[in-house]
Structure 1
Amino acid sequence: MAGPEILNKPVEFRSGLKAPNPTLKSAMTERLCTWSDDPSEFNKRGWPTEAYINLYKAWGKGEIGTIVLGNIPCDARYPEAKRNACIDYTIAGKDDYVKAYRPVMEASKANGSIVIAQVTHAGRQTSEEIVDVPVSASDVQCAPAMGMKFGKPRPLTVEEIKDIVKRFAFAAEVLYEAGADGIQLHAAHGYLLSQFLSPRINKRTDAYGGDLDGRSRIIFEIISAIRQAVPDERFIIAIKVNSADFAEGGFDGDDSMEMAKRLERAGVELIELSGGTYESRAFEHKKESTIKRESFFIEFADRIRPHLTTAKLAVTGGFRSSSAMAQAIAERSCDIVGMARPLTGEPELVKALLEAKSQRAIETHPSLPAELAIPACVFQMSQLGRNEPVSNVGTEQGVQEDRSEGGSEEMDEK
């Protein structure tokens, strides 16, 4: 079948929820919400703004099958970056958050997309600019990365771990009542849940460390708490997990396969596969064999997909053409294809691919330095939030505009 024909087929989850097509906008750090560094104004952190809603309105028009909001810290003390959207029960009650997030859901779902919100905790990857002493599974410090420095973390107490479980469940309840179709746990890219999974970072000797049973315990406690908070099974639980950390002694491909099996048994309906951490960026081809298939992590998906029966597998990172996306689905390497960076410059790319008006995303002009590719996306999202024309980084003129105005911020995706 031709690419558009495959990409126009709906995806039905075990719970009965149906996405109109197998494309997914992966979570990114939009940085368009309210913020205050003043401790006395802590309650001003992370509230959706008009620009944040406008951004999702633009993506909603793109007919993306599944839109993933993100990343949304469940603890505003430890965000991935300033101006993250947040859902923190110490700042406000459920009703206030539901009122704030409902317009975001409505804008995202206006053209038929299903919407899942990624909830996260940065752990040791909260920069020194925000907090001097971050928290983590143990006291292993994150090396400077992506223009940021990180303090030496302190290990979370068991009581604090239980509080984090509560925070994820509270966020799930907010999102459900605001109209989201599901929640995604961010257990990839070196964030807190990923820190627990990694034997290189997690040196605990209690019930939350040691073997995979211990290192993954917090995740399964969160899943159980979410289902208690939101018993409606049509509200799906998803997770983003690394195919591998690509760091010696870290979470590896065998761990990833075993986790996928366990997550499915726990009722997770969507597993999004990615890879790497702040210290070991993985958004590049590690093997020559994956270049033609575009996806960085497709060979990991090939190993995992045959072991799943009810959970859908999404792969994000590298996809740029409708032909490669369709091939990945036709060959049963995955059920859903994810994109992030291409959709900041072309928010209606998926619609164009579905209608065969385009065959691939715009190629970034070679004059854009690699280290500015991600900041360029941050700038494009801010343009969408302001309802401005988006810089075209496929042209030298667009690159110059982006370089002169886009700043040097980083973001989370590929």
Structure 2
Amino acid sequence: MSGIKSARGVPSPEYLRLYQRWGEGDIGIIVSGNTMVRYDAVEAYGNPIIVDDHDGRVAKFKEVTSVAKAQGSLVVAQLSHPGRQGTKYLNPNPISASDVHLTIKWAGNEFAKPRPMTVPEIKEMVRTWGESAYLCWKAGFDGVQVHCAHGYLLAQFLSPTTNRRTDEYGGDLNNRSRIVFEIIDEIHRRVPDPGFIVCVKLNSVEFQDKGTTPEDARDLCLKLEEARVDFVDLSGGTFEGRAFEHKKQSTIAREAYFIEFAEMIRPLLKKTKVYVTGGLRTAAGMVKAIEEGACDGIGIGRPLAAEPYLVKEILEGKVTGAIENYVPLPLNTQSSGTQLHQIGHGDELISDWSVEAEVKRWIEAHEKETERKLSILPKVDSSGYAPLKAEAGFAYLAA
């Protein structure tokens, strides 16, 4: 995740500062936020884009990797394409596996009906992904993550709810996943470094009828190991089926949203490692998940927006877990974006969402920003995260 806007897809000073802070936080692997592989298809306003070296963007990304890696972290670029899941005001002519329209509104966004990609377009997309991975390697990234989750383009190919093709890219799971494995092969072909990490973010479940199932995820992971994927990051959900709205009581008790799926998959893999992202908030829960063999590693998302030094403080024994977050679901994604902007702007305080008065201030700011954003459509001038100067928060950024 990042949430900090860039100019023309080139990392901004705010973006650089955010990754510098994370680099200071003893995170093992820093996985970037959505980094787009096409200029004409962005998930949100201000997404970073790495398609070519126009405007010296490789050098700018090199600045990001340099500060993020300065204290020993590895840095992996999350490469993505929104497919049908980009606001229609930025993506008026979207492409997808099929012409299945995303008709819901999410965070004030509406989505245009996509058209199915032609086979030549799919082949070109595969080449594009490989070129972006090569540029990431030149920019100093230690690897790339192929984003196949959360309803974006590759998830649209994988899911039978959005892939209704009848050619070699549709039908059974082998065909629906064909584009993913072609992309992985192209990345291995284009990047000359055998130590370059190739990983995949994958839905373990979609939480909607006829969507991707845990059994699909299991079968895909076995094939991903054959394709020399270093690790899979198990997540879940789409804009239509949000993961956090479907937690079982057993999952809540164990913190992680996707731990039960990881337990099914991990014993089958010999080389590929399994990470789980989503829900783990305490050091004890993280340790238990690994010691019990449910996964090999833990991914942390929103808590690092609130506490960029959380990992360091856990390792040093200063804290036992992430601070509480009282922002109501599903608004916590947007509230995390506000915190990311506070870090990027160098604010001395990051808002503390365990303080109810601060949450109330943010909700008011969010409603005001949403109203402003909707009033200027079809113009889009921000990522939609409400600006807020924290009154109750953490002051360690000033240290």
Common topology (TM > 0.5): yes
CA contact (8 A) 1:363 1:394 kept: yes
CA contact (8 A) 2:232 2:272 kept: yes
Q: Do residues 375 (structure 1) and 334 (structure 2) align? A: yes
* 2:166 counterpart (199, 205, 209): 205
* 1:116 counterpart (76, 96, 106): 76
Whole-angstrom CA distance in 1 between matches of 2:24 and 2:359: 25
CA contact (8 A) 1:199 1:249 kept: yes
In structure 1, the partner of 2:135 is: 174
Q: Do residues 125 (structure 1) and 98 (structure 2) align? A: no
Whole-angstrom CA distance in 2 between matches of 1:58 and 1:161: 37
1:203-236 Cα offsets, whole Å, 9 max, x none, are 1111111111111111111111111111311101
* 1:264 counterpart (225, 228, 238): 225
CA contact (8 A) 2:233 2:277 kept: yes
1:247-304 Cα offsets, whole Å, 9 max, x none, are 1111111110000000011000010000010110012453111122100110000000
* 1:81 counterpart (34, 44, 68): 44
In structure 2, the partner of 1:275 is: 236
Deviation at 1:127, TM superposition (A): 1.1
Whole-angstrom CA distance in 1 between matches of 2:282 and 2:218: 27
Whole-angstrom CA distance in 1 between matches of 2:48 and 2:364: 26
TM-score if structure 2 supplies the norm length? 0.89
- Identify if the C-alpha distance between structure 1 residues 360 and 250 changes in structure 2 by more than 3 Å, giving closer, same or farther: same
CA contact (8 A) 2:38 2:49 kept: yes
What's the Cα RMSD here?
A: 1.5
What amino acid sits opposite 2:51 in the alignment? D
Deviation at 1:405, TM superposition (A): 4.1
Find runs of 4+ consecutive structure 1 residues off by over 4 angstroms.
408-411
What amino acid sits opposite 2:182 in the alignment? E
Deviation at 1:164, TM superposition (A): 1.0
Deviation at 1:312, TM superposition (A): 0.9
Q: Percent identity?
A: 45
* 1:234 counterpart (195, 202, 208): 195
Whole-angstrom CA distance in 1 between matches of 2:226 and 2:84: 29
Q: Do residues 360 (structure 1) and 321 (structure 2) align? A: yes
Structure 1 residue runs of 5 or longer lacking an equivalent are: 1-27, 35-44
SS in 1 for 2:15: helix
CA contact (8 A) 2:4 2:344 kept: no
Deviation at 1:100, TM superposition (A): 1.5
In structure 2, the partner of 1:41 is: none
What amino acid sits opposite 1:61 in the alignment? E
Whole-angstrom CA distance in 2 between matches of 1:224 and 1:243: 22
In structure 1, the partner of 2:380 is: none
Structure 2 residue runs of 5 or longer lacking an equivalent are: 371-382, 386-399
CA contact (8 A) 1:391 1:401 kept: no
* 2:66 counterpart (62, 82, 106): 106
Deviation at 1:396, TM superposition (A): 2.1
In structure 2, the partner of 1:23 is: none
TM-score if structure 1 supplies the norm length? 0.86
In structure 2, the partner of 1:49 is: 12
Deviation at 1:189, TM superposition (A): 0.4
1:107-146 Cα offsets, whole Å, 9 max, x none, are 1111111111100000000111212221100101112132
CA contact (8 A) 1:74 1:119 kept: yes
In structure 2, the partner of 1:64 is: 27
Q: Do residues 393 (structure 1) and 366 (structure 2) align? A: no
In structure 1, the partner of 2:393 is: none
SS in 2 for 1:240: strand
What amino acid sits opposite 1:377 in the alignment? S
In structure 1, the partner of 2:186 is: 225
Deviation at 1:371, TM superposition (A): 3.8
In structure 2, the partner of 1:96 is: 56
In structure 2, the partner of 1:40 is: none
Deviation at 1:31, TM superposition (A): 3.5
In structure 1, the partner of 2:391 is: none
